């Protein structure tokens, strides 16, 4: 049963207005998540970013993602990615199904709702980047840091030294007690 154009118009109208085009990293990460949501298992193949006249599609085990290309009545960005990936998922689930039947439209609607709920269009797929480490530290701070490390190391060695002295005292005391208790059997002296 083919999905009516009214259903597709409703799907397309539910996308937020003024959707930004995803960055390449967002498009790749979002496509993998959409695949896992629709298929129930993670994408195990390669993912390649394409541009120009190439579609978002899977060929020879490689998921090709084009975040800029519109597809027919669907504008570019997330709507096109969701629409085309829903076709791929539908083809994998139902190889004998028609390309635009109602089951494919339901998959597209579920993927669209997932993308909107997860905030794909709001930039929530962007990775938080750490600020780059400072190349050069201020000399004063460096000297203070090194001095603090020396003090800590010195205190650690002093603790080890005290523990060694205590251990040595205990060992000597145990030896003396043992020699008193067992006498010549321990020392090997005969009287």
The reply to whether 113 and 49 lie within a common domain is yes
The reply to whether 32 and 82 lie within a common domain is yes
State the average pLDDT for the chain.
87
The reply to whether 82 and 153 lie within a common domain is no
Please give the pLDDT value at position 169. 96
The yes-or-no verdict on residue 191 having pLDDT over 60 is no
Work out the angle at residue 90's Cα, subtended by the Cα atoms of residues 88 and 92, and round it to the nearest 5 degrees: 70
Give Dmax (Cα) for the chain: 115
Please give the pLDDT value at position 74. 72
The reply to whether 118 and 149 lie within a common domain is no
The reply to whether 147 and 96 lie within a common domain is no
In order, the DSSP letters of 7-39 are: HHHHHHHTSPSSPPPPPHHHHHHHHHHHHHHHH
Burial of 108 (0-12, 13-18, 19+ CB in 10 A): buried
The reply to whether 102 and 41 lie within a common domain is yes
Residue 171 falls inside a structural domain = yes
In the chain, the number of structural domains is 2
Q: Where in the sequence is the domain holding 167, given as residue range(s)?
A: 139-187
CA–CA gap between residue 55 and residue 63 (Å, rounded)? 10
Burial of 56 (0-12, 13-18, 19+ CB in 10 A): buried
Residue 134 falls inside a structural domain = no
The reply to whether 104 and 176 lie within a common domain is no
Please give the pLDDT value at position 98. 87
Q: Which residue has the higher pLDDT, 137 or 161?
A: 161
Residue 128 falls inside a structural domain = no
Tell me: the pLDDT tens digits for 12-70?
888 888 888 898 899 999 999 999 999 999 999 999 999 888 889 999 999 999 988 88
Residue 10 falls inside a structural domain = yes
Q: For 186, which DSSP code?
A: H
Q: Which residue has the higher pLDDT, 8 or 89?
A: 89
The reply to whether 71 and 154 lie within a common domain is no
The yes-or-no verdict on residue 114 having pLDDT over 90 is yes
Residue 40 falls inside a structural domain = yes
CA–CA gap between residue 108 and residue 11 (Å, rounded)? 8
Please give the pLDDT value at position 1. 61
The reply to whether 87 and 45 lie within a common domain is yes
CA–CA gap between residue 151 and residue 169 (Å, rounded)? 27
Tell me: the pLDDT tens digits for 162-178?
999 999 999 999 999 98
Alpha helices in 94-138, H assignment, sequence order = 102-117
């Amino acid at each position: 049963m083919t999905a009516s154009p009214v259903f597709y118009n409703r799907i397309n109208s539910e996308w937020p207005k003024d959707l930004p085009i995803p960055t390449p990293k967002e498009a790749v990460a979002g496509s993998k998540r959409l695949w896992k949501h629709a298929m129930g298992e993670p994408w195990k193949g390669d993912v390649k970013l394409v541009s120009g006249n190439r579609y978002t599609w899977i060929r020879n085990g490689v998921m090709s993602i084009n975040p800029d290309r519109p597809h027919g009545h669907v504008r570019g960005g997330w709507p096109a990615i969701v629409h085309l990936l829903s076709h791929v998922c539908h083809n994998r689930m139902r190889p004998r199904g028609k390309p635009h039947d109602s089951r494919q439209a339901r998959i597209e609607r579920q993927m669209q709702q997932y993308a909107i709920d997860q905030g794909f269009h709001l930039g929530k797929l962007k990775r938080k980047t750490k600020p780059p480490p400072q190349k050069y530290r201020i000399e004063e701070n460096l000297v203070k840091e090194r001095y603090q490390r020396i003090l800590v190391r010195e205190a650690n060695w002093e603790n080890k030294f005290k523990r060694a002295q205590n251990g040595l005292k205990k060992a000597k005391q145990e030896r003396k007690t043992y020699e008193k208790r067992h006498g010549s059997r321990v020392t090997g002296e005969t009287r």
